[in-house]
Structure 1
Amino acid sequence: MAGIYLHIPFCRQACHYCNFHFSTSLNRKNDFISALLKEIAARKDYLEAEPIETVYFGGGTPSLLATEEIATILQQLRALYPLVSGAEVTLEANPDDITTARLRSWRETGINRLSIGVQSFFEEDLRWMNRAHDARQALDCIGLAQEEGLDNISIDLIYGGPTLPDSHWQQNVERAIGLGIPHLSCYALTVEPRTALDTLIRRHQVAEVSPDDQARQFLLLMDWMAAAGYEHYEISNFAQPGHRSRHNSAYWQGKKYLGLGPSAHSYNGVSREWNVANNAQYIAAPGLVTEKEILTPDQQVNEYIMISLRTLEGIDLQTLAHRFGPQRAAQLRQRAEKHIIGSHLRLAEERLQLTMEGKLLADGIAADLFFDTQSK
């Protein structure tokens, strides 16, 4: 089974923290749709007819597309790719784009899951982030979706920002739980280079982000979500049982996926490639791959370590031994010992899993476990 990701590179306005590829001008949206349809046709053999179990409209803001455009894209995919019955089809949407009429039309096109960019239910946070929606829309859009039967919902929340005290963070999380939202993606506010937020902080126009605040709010989050019965199945993702994101889970399981649209990445098990991150160049040459990387054996095992360590199940040493050899599994087990002693990893049924404290250090622990040519 494989997945398809479609990058829709348009936003109504730029959030201060965002470093994804997008344009706030919709002037060439029609040209982009034409180019995307051409790329869908041109790359139909990339996944070698492997059944497609998930389709994900990301961006950018895919909910800016007209319903007819979404329907045309899905029609093209169904005609050229083997989508399985019951495939998960997710649309990222902003609260200000969600109306009863649009929800009904999205369902009719085949959208069966929404990922809503709420970020916060507090007005001051949304203004500070330069979000296009307000606090009332953040709340109302969820009720509208549930009333229309599109209740397979995920929402994004951001923590660790200077406008978010612990009490407001708790209210954000409790509100999401109280609304019965089955999936939450919660991200620490990250200051990415060359974003508006980076510039504002360097000019001392806004307060800096506190790593201590972020760590504390992440620990609080894990406690609250566990108490509410959610699975912490990946570092940033929490789900009620049976409501994990099938699309994102496929990434973390190392499954193949095809990325369509400017800046989109693709992976077929042995190589990774990505499209040009420029709308004009993409429109002129749909599917233009700007870089391709053949993964070495070291990179393949490191990729498995990186993605599996972030999950609830952790690194399966037996799977690693089967795929990459028992010597590597033994070496990894030995290398992990200091993190086990330090209570950042635990070994349970031949799986290396992050502890709660270890989740604060996930990237560093993964990097410490990586193999290189000298470690063979």
Structure 2
Amino acid sequence: MSKELRISIIGGGAAGFFAAISAKQHNPTAHVQILEKTSHFLAKVKISGGGRCNVCHAEFNNRKLAEHYPRGEKFLKKAFEQFDATSTMEWFEQRLVALKTYSDGCVFPLSNTSQSIIDCFLREAKKLDIELLLHHSIDTIEKLEGGGFVLRSKDKTITTDRVIVTTGGQPKLSGLHWLESLGHQIIPPVPSLFTFNMPEEPIKEFMGLVVEKATVRIEGQKLVGKGPLLITHWGMSGPAILQLSAWGARSLAEVNYQFNILVNWLDETKESELRVSLENTRKVHGGKMISNHCPFPIPARLWNFLLSKNEIILSSRWIETNPKQINKLVNTLLNDRYQVQGKTTFKEEFVTAGGIDLSEIHVQSMESKLLPGLFFAGEIMDIDGITGGYNFQAAWTTGFIAGKNAAL
């Protein structure tokens, strides 16, 4: 009679639970345990999406889905062949977690609370008899000569056959030394999702204002972010900014988060189009006060701020604007320049670029190329996506594959 296969998963987050459930489903006789160092499982799931949990994104073309990952695009494109967004939605709905897809493609539980996702995972773990252990921090992994591993902490020693590491993104390189000691190459971590601090910019006074369609560029770089832009009490946030922070994670870290951005408040409107629009406004609404008649989808307070920035008297009429004022207004609407001096991590949902080098992981199995029997899933690898459910999709996909193959 063959001995029971023991699978230990280090990290009780999204990828960890998905890996554990996948392992148990593919090998019901295996003993599967999740080792979580804190006092809570799924803590990041709990707070994600403002407590709602953006489960995935309704992008069913795997090539296009993979394009939303600044790090890991080619790797995930192959991985999505095994488990993609369709798989994710079916997985949750089969477990009676109703989902709702919003107009922007983001998928949330119909309950509008992340607790539905947490409850689902805990139910599945109980049903499959997965061992859940809190306060189990692992300091080292040792490969045994005869096969298997020893997991050590200050006061615990666990012997196991397979290990899946799902400890998530680490804000500091020191948090990855225990894996580096196994011989794995570590890509140094840097923040990937963060908002822009603008301590010297008066636009902060309009905190809470949102422009639904804006285009933002990093001055001197090719990076572009598109979508809603939110003005905050420290600077700017929203999807347009968070996209830039993800794609520019490394280049912005290199300049110590000191750079300029150029905002097109009118999305992708071109200068020629804008000049025609402004000339038509002068002709048709020339007698109206310029502050009271904004021909663009910009909040009134922001419109008046932009007018004042160009020394246009708010009580003046459209017909009274001169060519010099129009030129300055055109430049401000399309290329409004702001100085960024620092960053703020996006709520508690920190995401990092960096981790285990993907070249050292088999994409078909998520198994280490250096240590057979050792697997990885989730953000511990050098994978990260933009906002919109992409980081969870990577967790589900890699967790599913790692669990399935660790159970073989």
Query: TM tier, shorter chain?
Result: under 0.3
Higher relative contact order (CA 8 A, sep 6+): 2
TM-score (normalizing by structure 1): 0.26
